[in-house]
Amino acid sequence: MTLEIGANATIEFKVEAKDLAKNLGISSDDNFPPVFATARLVALMECSAAKVLIPLYGEGQLSVGVEVNVKHLAPTLEGDTARSIATFTGMEGKLYKFSIEVFDSSGKIGEGTHTRAIVTQERLMDGANKRAGK
């Protein structure tokens, strides 16, 4: 199966307390605001792009993110819903390229480009285990 340029997928996601920047700190010095975290925005974008690729998966396959270029344009409060729309823009070798926009109830909150690859889970995990010396 081939993917047509313009194929897209949408995911709606309700922003909860666990998704706020203030709850994603790594060190005790971190002091982030109580709004939708950029890290969670990126995850939402990746998931919407991955959804486009699901019909292409063979046995034991999944997709992985390879590159992300994101602009987080506006803050979103807890309880609002973020809607990510990923649109397939073409291939670069074996890589799938996407344009992504994210909106909340007040308008656009993020945009960017994303690249994914389809891999077998077994091969991915074998590589990860080799890197870890297992």
What does the block give as tokens for 85?
A: 């729309």
Confidence label for 25 from pLDDT (cuts 50, 70 and 90): confident
Question: Is this structure's pTM higher than 0.85?
Answer: yes
| pLDDT tens track for 50-103 | 999 999 999 999 999 999 999 999 999 999 999 999 999 999 999 999 999 999
What whole-number distance in Å separates Cα of residue 49 and Cα of residue 62?
Answer: 12
What does the block give as tokens for 111?
A: 């945009």
Handedness of CA 12, 76, 108, 6 (dihedral sign): negative
Q: Which domains does the chain have, with CATH numbers?
A: 8-131 (3.10.129.10)
Q: What is the pLDDT of residue 6?
A: 98
| pLDDT tens track for 107-128 | 999 999 999 999 999 999 999 9
What does the block give as tokens for 48?
A: 């919407």
Q: CA 84 from chain center: how many Å? A: 9
β-strand partners of 100: 86, 112
